[in-house]
Structure 1
Amino acid sequence: MNQDAFLELNSVACRYGNTKVLNDINLSIQRGEFVALLGSSGCGKTTLLRVLAGFIAPSSGTVSVRQRDVTYMPPDKRGMALVFQSYALWPHMTVAQNIGYGLKLKGVAKAAIAERVNAMQKLLGLDGLGARKPAALSGGQRQRVALGRALAVDPEILLLDEPLSNLDARIRLTVRHELRALQKRLGITAVHVTHDREEAMVMADRIVILNTGEIAQQGTPEDVYNRPASAFVAAFMGAENVLFLEGSPQGDSFHIAAGPANAAGSVALLGRQLQAGAVEARFRPEAAQLLPMDTPIAAPGMTFTGEVTAVSYPGGHWRHSVRLGDREIMADAPRAFEPGDRVQVHVGPDALFLFNSPESNPAISISRSAAGKAHA
C-alpha cells in the first residue's frame, strides 16, 4: 500500500459471470488530484468508477481511502459522490430540492439544508432558479444541479461518469473549464470517466488509459500525448497513420531501410527499446509536413513520397489523403494540394512513434490502421 495515496486500488479485478472486465488494476490517487479514466466503450472505465463508488463489489483486490479499506463499505459511507451521465435528477422536485436531497437523506436540519443549498446555487451560478424543475432548465443548468447535489454533501471524492456527454459541443467546452476551475478552487479529489481524449487532456492532472480492463498507460496529459507507451495508446491519442517498416538499432539511432515510398534514413531512439526487424511507426495527420516534390528537406526525421488522392477543409488547415504505395495516410497542410499532385510527407523524429511489431508483414507497407479510425 502506498502510504502517500489518498485513494488507492490494489490488484482490483472484476467479473460479470465468466467475463473479466477489470484485471489487476493498481492505481494511487493523491488528495486534490483530478484523474481522468480514458478509454473506448467496453474498456472497463465505468465499471472501475462503480467499484470506487461501491455499486459493484470487485472479484478480488481492495479499495482504500486514507489507508482505510472501503472495499465492501456501502456507497453512502465512503465519503464519495457520483455525478451520473444522465444527471438522474428528480423531475418532480425543484432545483433546490434536488440539490438538498442528499442532505435530507442524512437527516440534516431544514435550516442547514437551506443554507447549504443557497451556497451551492451561488457557487454554480444557479441563483434565482431554485424554484424551477429540471424540465424548465437547459442542459448546462441541469448538469450544474447534478453537480450541486453531489457537492452539497461535502464529499471527499467526486466521481464523474461522463457528465458532459449529453451537452452540445459549445456548452460542453464552457462547462468543462468551469468544472475544472471549481475542482481546483475546492481542492476536491476527482475521478472522471470519459471517452473524449480532448476532454481528458484539458481537465485532468493525470490521464489513465484503459484497454480491455487493464491500464495501458498513465501519466500527465503531456506524457501520454507525446510519449505513448504502446501502439494502442499512440492510436488512441490521435496517431492514426500507421507505417510498417524494417530497420535496426545502430548506436543511438534506429536505421530504417529503404522502401517503395521512402529512402533509407534514421531517427534517434530517444530511449526506445527497439529490436531489429519490423517496426510499427505512427504519427498524427497534423504532425506531417506536406511539401512539393522539388522542395529540399534537411530537417531530421523520415520523408515519404506519394500522391494526393483527396482534399478537404475541416477548418484552419487542409487535410489530404495521400497514397503511399498501395495504401493511404492523412496529412495536414496550410494550403491545398490538388488531387494527383506528387508530394513529400515529412515526419520529424519527435512525432514519429516507433514500436516493435513482430507480427507485422516484414515487407514494407504503409496503411491507415482500423484502430486509429475507431478512436478518431
Structure 2
Amino acid sequence: MGGFLEIAETRVRYGEVEVLKGINLSVAKGEFVALLGSSGCGKTTLLRTIAGFNAPTSGAIRVGGRDVTRQPPDKRGMALVFQSYALWPHMTVDQNIGYGLKLRRAPNAAAAARVAEMKALLGLDALGQRKPAALSGGQRQRVALGRALAINPEILLLDEPLSNLDARIRLTVRHEISALQRRLGITAVHVTHDREEAMVMADRIVIMNGGDLAQAGTPQEVYNRPESDFVAAFMGAENIIDLDVHVSGDRIEVAEGPHNGAASLSARGRTAASGRAIARFRSEAIDLAPADDTALTASTGSLALKGIVEQSSYPGGTWRHVVMLGSSKLIVDAERPFETGSTVLVRVPEDALFIFART
C-alpha cells in the first residue's frame, strides 16, 4: 500500500533527551493504525508531532505527498480527539460539534446541516441542546468525535480516547469508532496502551519502545510472530524460561535443563542463535497434565517443563494455576484444576513458543 501519511526519519528532542529516535512510518489512505506501547515510549509524542503540536528536531511529515512538517495544526487536514474530550462546558452539544466549522467561517445553514449529520451518525439526535455536564462519558466521547469529524479531516488522530470510559462502555464505543472509520474510509492513527483495544480496532499495529518502532504489522502478525523478546512480552507472552539451544539447519535442539526436557523444535521463522536463549509463551497456549517418571523424555514439536502447583483460581472459563519451576513462576490455564503442591507437566507446542537469543 502506498503511503498517504509519511513520517520520515522524524526525531524529537526535549532538552538532552531524544524522545523520538528517527521514526519511519507509512500509513495508507483509509488505513487504521494503532500506536501501541507503555507510558513513556513516545507514542503520544509521535501523535502530537503528526498533528503539529510538537516540532520535530529533524525529519519530515508528509500528507498526500505534501510536506506539512512546518505547517500549523489547522493547516494539516487533521483532527485530534483528546483523552479528556476537551469539550467546552458552557456550550451545547450542537455548539461543540460545530465549533471547528465556526472557526472556519462555514455558512450557518451548511454548518447546521453538518452538525445534524454528525449527530445522526453518532446517535446524538436528541441531545443537541444539552451541555457536557448532562452527558455520560460515552456521550461526551461521541460529541468529541463528532466535533473532529465535522470538519471532514483527511486524517483522524485519536489520543487514548477511550481510557476515561468504564469497561462496558469502552467496548461499545471501541466498536462504534472502528465501524465508523471503515464506513467513512477515513485514515486514522490511534494511540493506546491497551493491547486488546489495538487488536480489535486497527488494521495495523505499530509497537513502540523507548522512542523507536519495535515492530509493525497486522494484529495477527505481531501477536503470532513477535520479532523480539520485548514484543513477545508486550503481546502477552509473559511466561519466560531460560534454555540452552543449538541451531542446526532447520532445527533448534534444546538441551535438557533443571526444569525442562530435551526437545527438537522447528527453526522456521525464528531468529534464535546457538547458546543461551529466552523462551516465552502465553498462559492459555499450553497443556497441563499430571507429571510421571517419563515426563521429561526427549520430545519433538513441543517443550516439556516440570513444576509444582503453588496456587489455583477460577477467573471464569478456565482454571488458572501458578506453577513454580524452582524460583520461577509460570501462569498456566487449564480446563480443570490441579491440586496445590502437586507435580505437573507443562507442555508447550512449538508454534506457541517464542525463542530469542539472550542478550
TM-score range, shorter chain: over 0.9
Q: Quick one: distance in 1 between partners of 2:253 and 2:326?
A: 21
- How far did residue 294 of structure 1 move? 4.0
String of CA shifts for 1:266-293, please: whole Å, max 9, x gaps.
Answer: 1111232322110010001111211111
How far apart, CA to CA, are the structure 2 residues paired with 1:273 and 1:191? 30
User: Following TM superposition, by how much is the alpha carbon of 1:295 offset from its aligned partner in structure 2, in angstroms?
Assistant: 10
Q: 1:35 aligns with which of 33, 36, 43?
A: 33
Cross-structure match for 2:235: 237
Look up the match of 1:350. Answer: 351
Alpha-carbon contact 2:32-2:204 (below 8 Å) kept: yes
SS at structure 1 position matched to 2:315: coil
TM-score normalised by length of structure 1: 0.93
> What amino acid does structure 2 have at the position aligned with 1:356?
A
Q: Name the structure 2 match of 1:11.
A: 9
Matched ranges for 1:38-77 at <5 A:
38-77=36-75
2:141 counterpart SS class: helix
Following superposition, the deviation at residue 299 of structure 1 comes to: 7.2
State whether residues 263 and 300 of structure 2, in contact with CA within 8 Å, keep that contact through their aligned partners in structure 1.
Answer: no
Conservation of the 8 A alpha-carbon contact between 1:299 and 1:348: no
2:198 to 178, 197, 200: 200
2:321 maps to 1:320 = yes
Where 2:56 maps in the other structure, the secondary structure is coil
Deviations 1:22-41 (A, max 9, x none): 00100000000000000000
For 1:126-275, list aligned pairs within 5 A: 126-275=124-273
Q: Does the aligned pair in 2 maintain the 1:37–1:45 contact within 8 Å?
A: yes
Judge conservation of contact 1:33–1:188 (CA < 8 Å) in 2: yes
Report the Cα distance in structure 2 between the residues aligned to 1:18 and 1:58, rounded to whole angstroms.
14
CA positional deviation for 1:296: 8.0
Matches within 5 A, 1:255-334: 255-294=253-292, 300-334=301-335
Question: In the alignment, is the contact (CA less than 8 A) between 2:259 and 2:307 conserved in 1?
Answer: yes
Cα deviation for residue 324 of structure 1 reads: 0.9
Segments of 5+ residues of structure 1 without an aligned counterpart are: 359-376
Does residue 119 of the first structure (1) align with residue 117 of the second (2)?
A: yes
1:325 Cα deviation from its structure 2 partner? 2.2
CA contact (8 A) 2:232 2:280 kept: yes
Conserved 8 A contact 2:263-2:301? no
Gaps in structure 2 of 5+ consecutive residues: none
What secondary structure does 1:313 align onto?
strand
Aligned to 1:83: 81
Deviation larger for 37-46 or 250-259: 250-259
RMSD: 1.3
How many positions carry a matched residue from both structures?
Answer: 356
Q: Which amino acid aligns with 2:346?
A: V
Q: Does structure 1 retain, via aligned residues, the 8 Å contact 2:242–2:276?
A: yes
Cα distance in 2 for residues equivalent to 1:250 and 1:66? 47
Cα distance, 1:265 vs structure 2: 1.0
Question: 1:14·1:20 contact (CA, 8 Å) conserved in 2?
Answer: yes
Q: Check the 8 A contact 1:157/1:190 in 2, yes or no.
A: yes
Deviation for aligned residue 1:112: 1.0
For the residues of structure 2 that align with 1:158 and 1:333, how far apart are their CA atoms? Answer: 42
In the alignment, the residues of structure 2 paired with residue 113 and residue 273 of structure 1 have an alpha-carbon distance, to the nearest angstrom, of 56
Shift in Å, 1:257: 0.5
Post-superposition offset of 1:194: 0.1
Any idea what the Cα deviations from partners look like across 1:160-202, whole Å, max 9, x if unmatched? 0000000000010111011100000000000000000000000
| 1:259 CA displacement | 1.1
Do the aligned residues in 1 keep the contact of 2:265 with 2:300 (CA within 8 Å)?
A: no
- For the 8 Å contact 2:264–2:300, the answer to whether it is kept is no
Aligned-partner SS, 2:29: coil
Whole-angstrom CA distance in 1 between matches of 2:316 and 2:230: 27
